[in-house]
Amino acid sequence: MNTGRGQNKRNWSDEEDRALIETLQEVSHKDARGMWGVSFPHFHALAELMGNDRTTGSNAENFAEAIENMGNETNDSMFSASTEEANQDLVSKPGKRKRSKDNPEKNLISMFDDVSSKLGSFMENIDKHLGKLVASESDDMAAKVMEALRQMEGLSSGQMLQAAEILMAEPPKLKVFHHADAELKKEYIYRLLLAKNK
């Protein structure tokens, strides 16, 4: 038996007809009018029979149908994407081409390429910045060493320059120099100069 109009036509079995009629009789019964809020034992059966999608008015799909339709949509979209790519290969357009959002592998590869290029430029910028920091720190350190050597009495300008070169060339010796007090610094510099001139 067919009931409904347009897209709402549906084939009803005799069992479904009986369940619908029983349900409608229970709902329309005069004594049932004061029973709003009382549980309705055939609600799930009625929802299964009449389950319409509220937005479209068409029959709502159950879980199994939804999974099956998702698989069909995925297959259809893959087929249409490959067809579109084949058509795009035949016709070349001037200017930029939009990326295909339908191919997840290409999107993933392009995303990795973008991240890789951005990471590469980021690392280059860090390298430049660190180079500048090291150079400025080295300049500051050289200025501090020269100032400390100028404050020492008894060193000629040639000895000061030679001691500065030794200290700046060898960071461990520079650390020892900075941690020593004034008398030890002077003795340490004389030893470095003596060892260098041998």
Higher per-residue confidence, 119 vs 198: 119
List Cα–Cα distances, 10 to 4, 7, 60, 64, 117, in angstroms: 7, 8, 13, 20, 58
Q: Residue range 150-177: average pLDDT? A: 87
User: Would you say residue 82 lies in a domain?
Assistant: no
| Residues 6 or more apart in contact with residue 107 via CB below 8 angstroms | 99, 100, 101
pLDDT single digits (tens) 83-99: 555 555 555 555 566 65
Q: Residue range 185-193: average pLDDT? A: 87
User: Would you say residue 68 lies in a domain?
Assistant: no
Whole-number average pLDDT of the chain: 75
Q: Residue range 40-52: average pLDDT? A: 69
Domains of the chain: total: 2
Alpha carbons 67 and 69: distance in angstroms, whole number: 5
Q: Which domain holds residue 165?
A: 106-197
Please report the beta strands in the chain, taking only residues with DSSP state E, as ranges in sequence order. 2-3, 10-11
Which pLDDT score, from 0 to 100, does residue 33 have? 60
Percent of the chain with pLDDT over 70: 66
Residues 110, 37 within the same domain: no
**Has residue 165 got a pLDDT over 70?**
yes
- Residue 78: pLDDT band by 50, 70, 90 thresholds? low
Residues 55, 115 within the same domain: no
Least confident among 34-48, 126-140, 157-171: 34-48
List Cα–Cα distances, 91 to 81, 95, 99, 166, in angstroms: 15, 13, 16, 70
Residue 178 identity (one-letter amino acid): H
State if pTM tops 0.85. no
- Of 60, 80, 96, the last residue of a domain is 60
- Of 60, 81, 98, the last residue of a domain is 60
Alpha carbons 152 and 159: distance in angstroms, whole number: 11
Residues 110, 51 within the same domain: no
User: Would you say residue 153 lies in a domain?
Assistant: yes
